Amino acid sequence: MARQYFGTDGIRGRVGEHPMTAEFALRLASAAARVLAPTGGRVVIGKDTRVSGYMFESALEAGFVAAGMDVAMLGPLPTPGIAFMTQAEQADLGVVISASHNPYFDNGIKFFDRHGAKLSDALEERIESHLGEPAVTRDSRSLGRATRLENAGELYQRFCIATVPAGMQLDGLKVVVDCSHGAGYKVAPRALTQLGADVIPIGCSPNGRNINEGCGSTDPALLALMVKGTGADIGIAFDGDGDRVVMVDHLGKLVDGDQLLYVLGMDRLARGALAGPIVGTLMTNLGLELALRDQGVAFRRAKVGDRYVLEMLRETGGELGGETSGHILCLDKTTTGDGLITALQVLAVMKAGGRGLAELTAGMRRFPQILINVRTPRKVDLAAAAAVGAAVERVERLLHGRGRVVLRASGTEPVVRVMVEGEDATEVKGFAEDIAAAVLQVANG
């Protein structure tokens, strides 16, 4: 059965439009309870700072309580904090209300299992199979109860701090932290301050409608200006739900997820603590792969999406992986992508070696990468398109093994994504345009 609502990261959409309505959220809670806790149990619910979070929180609470589950509401908390609290509270599942890096008028719902891991495709399909059924309402003796946990942020903060070497302090580091007016607006600055950093917070004044607006990991321009303007050692930017992080070095230069993986991988290699391969995705910059190869470090590529990175890490025995966007998995520290924990690991590397981020990333060259989204009048079968295959073969031959071509057809709309990377930006741009033209010609033919 193909999933109708769940994507690579839960269910997401425009608030007020199906499926992001209160009525759907109630039925979703009931369906999830049927599959994951049919005899009752416990669920924790957390959210980011969107104004619509209150509505979905109430609807989900009603659906779970009616189905006989006890509900613990966590309030605003980063997505990885909700994964942690699911385990800490010994809950049967955790629920996240967030649309991550999207604008405030979107929202989403995703689930963690009792181990703090995202649900498998098969479990999501089972939940969807019950969405057409009426919501369950048990008799009064079997209803669940709802409580609000006031110390979830404090517990998660302690957990994050415990992931750095014992006794490590960040004294002497001036850090600008941009929380995107999102879920990490309290816990991230507090954790960094507790470790002794001189913290300059921005993007920490959510009003329900300014999440990700001109700030955060998807728009780090202000962060770069603040780092240079204040003479800070480093800038840290999270997305709206706190599971992604990108950084800015002391020169104001952006450091993305691929570069952060390089920093963490090289540190673990030097300490003899690197387990298995490092895992990226089809879109991970070739520069990371080549830099790791030069150091004798195995690298694997998974499908786009952190859940697929996680699957490959488990299959290969790896512990470190992630995406260019800054969604980094450190499985020896936690179960899911965690922006704050990733940032703390990078700061620990800086502190231990007395080196800045610019120096730590110098060993990895980022290759120019061009992405063209080709909108077609109909879906294109790339495997059967001989002209497209010929164009790709020609480009790959001209790249001489020092570049890559990735074609991905969207699963939800008639769009083909053409990505080419190589050593020369102008050449790469021309190659991408040639392949995009071939795709469009086939689609119109």
CA distance 188 to 396: 44
The confidence score (pLDDT) of residue 304 equals 87
The confidence score (pLDDT) of residue 1 equals 55
Contact 227, 252 (CB under 8 A): yes
pLDDT, averaged per 10 consecutive residues of the chain (445 residues), comes to: 82 97 98 95 98 98 98 98 98 97 96 93 95 95 97 98 96 97 98 98 98 97 98 98 98 98 98 97 94 97 92 97 97 96 98 97 95 88 90 94 88 83 95 95 86
Nearest Cα residue to 105 out of 12, 238, 203: 12
Active site residue 410: no
Phi, psi of 238 (to 5 degrees): -100, 165
- Which residues make Cβ contacts (< 8 Å) with residue 200, sequence separation at least 6? 174, 175, 176, 177, 226, 230, 232
CA distance 67 to 47: 21
Q: What is the pLDDT of residues 23-72, one digit of tens each?
A: 999 999 999 999 999 999 999 999 999 999 999 999 999 999 999 999 99
The confidence score (pLDDT) of residue 378 equals 80
Q: Strand 234-238 vs strand 174-178: parallel, antiparallel, or unpaired?
A: parallel
The confidence score (pLDDT) of residue 8 equals 80
Q: Strand 146-148 vs strand 174-178: parallel, antiparallel, or unpaired?
A: unpaired
CA distance 247 to 216: 10
Phi, psi of 237 (to 5 degrees): -125, 125
Q: Which domains does the chain have, with CATH numbers?
A: 11-150 (3.40.120.10), 157-251 (3.40.120.10), 255-360 (3.40.120.10), 369-444 (3.30.310.50)
User: Residue 46: is it exposed, middle or buried by C-beta count within 10 angstroms (0-12/13-18/19+)?
Assistant: buried
pTM equals 0.93
Peptide bond preceding 277 in cis form (omega within 30 of 0): no
Give the whole-number percent of the chain exceeding pLDDT 90. Answer: 91
Helix axes 53-66, 22-36, angle to 10 degrees: 40
From the candidates 98, 100, 180, 217, give the one annotated as an active-site residue: 100
Cα 120 to its chain centre, rounded Å, is: 16
Q: What is the secondary structure of 348-362 as a DSSP string? A: HHHHHHT--HHHHTT
CA distance 298 to 251: 31
Amino acid at the residue 246: V
Strand partners, 8: 10
Handedness of CA 391, 402, 248, 322 (dihedral sign): positive
- Which residues make Cβ contacts (< 8 Å) with residue 2, sequence separation at least 6? none
Neighbours of 35 (CB within 10 A): 18
Q: What is the secondary structure of 46-81 as a DSSP string? A: EE-S-TTHHHHHHHHHHHHHHTTEEEEEEEE--HHH
Q: Where are the beta strands (DSSP E) in 87-182?
A: 93-97, 106-113, 146-148, 174-178
Token pair listed for 154: 């404090």
